[in-house]
Amino acid sequence: MSETLTETPVRAGNPAAAATPPTATEERKGLTKKEIAADHPTWCPGCGDFSVLALYFKLIEKRKMWHEKITTIAGIGCSSRFPYFVQAHGAHYIHGRALPFASGISLSRPDLHVFVFGGDGDAFSIGGNHFTHTARKNIKMTYCVMDNWVYGLTKKQTSPTSPLGFKSKTDQWGAVDYPINPMKQAIAAGATFVARTTSTNPNHVLAMMEAAMDHDGFSFIECLSECVEFYEGAFDAANPRKGGMFNEVPKNHDASDELEAYKLAGADFPGYFGIFYKNNKATKNAKEAEIQRNMMEKVKGLKDWQILQKNFDRMK
């Protein structure tokens, strides 16, 4: 993201303002972790979500971002409490509806980067359709799904990523529904950046967040984040400290190859970690900005009321 150091006022929907280069001579410093941390997180001790939050702070500090250039959006769930803990603009929105809310911000504020955090239930159950459409429209934002394979906030129901046989309050005899594969889902839906990481590998989480933020389009990260309360040990097989394996995406993987990415996504758990897929397609943001530029050209020199009148005259 090259605009993080600009102080140029940007009017909503004014693409010309967004193109203004950053003021490199600016003396204002970026935020420190201390400045960006709000309330103490209310998560259970040991929850994987702590690590994701700490790395988000690190990202903000490392990339020298300012309050007005960050916005943190979430739906509902333990993971979706995220924006409460960030001392910047953000919203804890409706369950499953974080993406449409974030889309509005992204499309009207090209000068900032929108981050969305949430859970597997929020993303793939109630928010499943929003996920598909935001991905296919390639709306610029970073969506980090903190996948714990369970509904944590509501105390252990089966989620769309819970594996077969998982015993929960909604499946007392073990889950019978086939789980979705978030990586396959994201690739198939048209996300232009698809990565996978795990909260137990901080350097890797930070690297994925940075790469996602720098991507001009809809960037999706599946971040395994253990719910120590309702699904303890779910990701041990992906954690070398617990005897598991952390396999990075092979060095020779061609991330521009959709089919290859899909194959990687099909590997048995713990699978691979890294960038599976990356494609530089035009964003909806860019397309809408162009439409707006053309429109502004057509009405050049006219006052607002004259433009309005022209529209009403045309509708007659």
Ligand X SMILES: Cc1ncc(C[n+]2csc(CCOP(=O)(O)OP(=O)(O)O)c2C)c(N)n1
Q: Closest approach of Cβ 122 to ligand SF4, in Å? A: 12
Does residue 111 bind Mg ion (CB under 5 A)? no
158 binds Mg ion (CB under 5 A): no
Minimum distance from residue 81 beta carbon to ligand X (Å): 8
Q: Per CB under 6 A, does 122 bind ligand X?
A: yes
43 binds ligand SF4 (CB under 6 A): yes
Structure tokens at 105: 């911000």
How far apart CA 277 and CA 254 sit, in angstroms, is 8
Question: Which partner from the list ligand SF4, ligand X, Mg ion, none does 44 bind, CB cut-off 5 to 8 Å by kind?
Answer: ligand SF4
Q: Confirm if 131 and 98 have CB atoms less than 8 A apart.
A: no
Q: Does 120 bind Mg ion (CB under 5 A)?
A: yes
Nearest residue to Mg ion, by Cβ distance, number only: 119
- For ligand SF4 (CB under 6 A), the number of binding residues is 12
Residue from 90, 110, 119, 182 touching Mg ion (CB under 5 A): that is 119
Query: Of 119, 190, 270, 271, which one interacts with ligand X (CB under 6 A)?
Result: 119
Residue from 70, 78, 183, 205 touching ligand X (CB under 6 A): that is 78
Task: Write down the least CB distance from residue 138 to ligand X, Å.
Answer: 24
Interacting partner of 76 out of ligand X, Mg ion, ligand SF4, none (Cβ under 5 to 8 A depending on kind): ligand X
State in angstroms the smallest separation of the CB of 167 from ligand SF4. Answer: 16
Q: Give dist(CA 82, CA 254) in Å, integer.
A: 33
> What is the C-alpha separation between 143 and 189, in angstroms, rounded?
14
Give min distance, CB of 128 to ligand X, in A: 11
- Interface residue with ligand SF4 among 118, 127, 152, 274 (CB under 6 A) is 152
20 binds, among ligand SF4, Mg ion, ligand X, none (CB under 5 to 8 A by kind): none
Using the rule CB under 5 A, give the single segment among 39-47, 146-154, 164-172, 256-264 that binds Mg ion: 146-154
Q: Which stretch binds ligand SF4 (CB under 6 A): 67-75, 125-133, 147-155, 261-269?
A: 147-155
Q: Does 274 bind ligand X (CB under 6 A)?
A: no
SS3 annotation, the chain: CCHHHCCCCCCCCCHHHHCCCCCCCCCCCCCCHHHHECCCCCCCCCCCHHHHHHHHHHHHHHCCCCHHHEEEEECCCCHHHHHHHECCEEEECCCCCHHHHHHHHHHHCCCCEEEEEEEHHHHHHHCHHHHHHHHHHCCCEEEEEEECCCECCCCCECCCCCCCCCCCCCCCCCCCCCCCCHHHHHHHHCCCEEEEEECCCHHHHHHHHHHHHHCCCEEEEEEECCCCCCCCCCCHHHCHHHCCCCEECCCCCCCCCHHHHHHHHCCCCCCEEEEEEECCCCCHHHHHHHHHHHHHHHCCCCCHHHHHHHHHHHHC
Q: Which residues contact ligand X by CB under 6 A?
A: 76-79, 95, 118-122, 126, 148, 150-154, 159
Q: Which residues contact Mg ion by CB under 5 A?
A: 119-120, 148
